[in-house]
Structure formats: structure tokens, C-alpha cells
Copies of this chain bind each other. A is one copy, B any other.
Amino acid sequence: MIKRSGRRRGSPDTRESILEAARQLFADKGFDATTVRAIAANAGCDAAMINHFFGTKEELFRATLQFPIDPATEIPHIVAGGRDEVGQRLVAIFVKIWDSPTGAVGASLIRSAMSNDWTLRLMREFLITQIMRRVAIEIDLDPAEAPLRVSLVASQLSGLAMMRYIIKLEPLASLPAERVVALIGPNVQNYVTGSLAAAK
């Protein structure tokens, strides 16, 4: 029997119940189909509590994964200088974040998300709705091509994270950031603006 006093509304328990309900609904139904009201109902609290603890639904999603950066503030930097250099800039920002202390958080996030299907689903949903979608809009991709282009970019960047920061494969792991940008940027650029034609 838990005594449901007014005091409990702000307790760590409530916060954890909200996170738990959100993780489950985001993974099961997806981000778009999940309402704050539904999360509140599953967590057994008022929707206002979610706003109180986490702010927006986007911020709540970020909290469920303890995702170390805020896509809403970081992604707009990518386009700051025009489309032709977007590949380089994507790699530069990616490496800057991963080279910072945040990178260790990212590595442990990925490593633990790998451990079960459910967290993997949650991570995929986050990648699609919080990162890829924003990137596609920011760099103004043709909506018909955007999912393929962004998933190709994701294939290169996730592998860079894996080899440079998780497996720590040399010489890639110790290469200066600007070298990584010069080597990998053009390929990412190719995914953003190159041909997607079926024939080579």
C-alpha cells in the first residue's frame, strides 16, 4: 500500500514511473502515436506532472534514453554554412560531440542499448523521429529521398562512432578531428547530395 499524499507528486518515484511509461509507449507505439496524456495515464499521474518534470514530449523522449545532447539545439548548426559543405559539417559536429566528455556517455548509451530488442527499438525510434527527421528538414532534402539519404548518412556516422569511440580501432581512434572530417566528410556529402540512381 503506497500512501498517495500530495507530497508524493513531486517524488523521484513519479519521475521514474513517467520515464518507464514513456519508454514502453515510445518503443511500442512510436513517438508520434504516443500522447503525453497516455503516458500520464500509464504512469498513474497527471499530465501536468510530465510538463513539470520534463517539459515537452521531445525532452521527455531524450530523458528516457539519457541522450547526452539536445538535437533541437545541435542540429541547426549543421546547415549554418550552406548545403555543399553539409557532409563535412555533419562529420565535424559529430566528432566534436564524441571527442568531448559527452562521447563517453554516448558510447555507454549505445553499448547498453544493444543489450536488448526493446532498447534497440527505443533507440531506432529516437534516431528516426528526433534526429533524422530534423536533419532532413534542416538540410532541406527532397522528402521523397530524405529517408534513404539520411539512413545512408547514419550508416557512415554510426560506424565512425563504433570504430573510433567504441572499438577504438587505430589509426582512426587517434586521428585529429580535422583529418577525420577531411577523410569521411566527402563520403557523407555524397550521401546528402550525390546520385541515388539504381544503376551505378
Contact = CB atoms under 8 A, between A and B. Distances in A.
A155 B156 contact: yes
B128 A152 contact: no
A144 to B, nearest CB: 11
Interface in A96-134: 110-111, 114-115, 120, 123-124, 127-128
Secondary structure dominating the interface of A: helix
B167 A120 contact: yes
A161 B191 CA distance: 17
Contacts of A120: 166-167
A171 to B, nearest CB: 5
A93 interface: no
Interface stretch (A47-55, A69-77, A177-185): A177-185
A41 interface: no
Nearest to A115: B115
A168 B158 CA distance: 13
B172 A162 contact: no
A196 interface: yes
Nearest to A181: B200
Contacts of A160: 155, 159
Contact of A127 (B169, B171, B175, B199): B169
Interface of A: 88, 110-111, 114-115, 120, 123-124, 127-128, 147-148, 151-152, 154-164, 166-172, 175, 179, 182-187, 190-191, 196-200
7 contacts: A111-B115, A114-B114, A155-B156, A158-B162, A158-B167, A159-B160, A182-B199
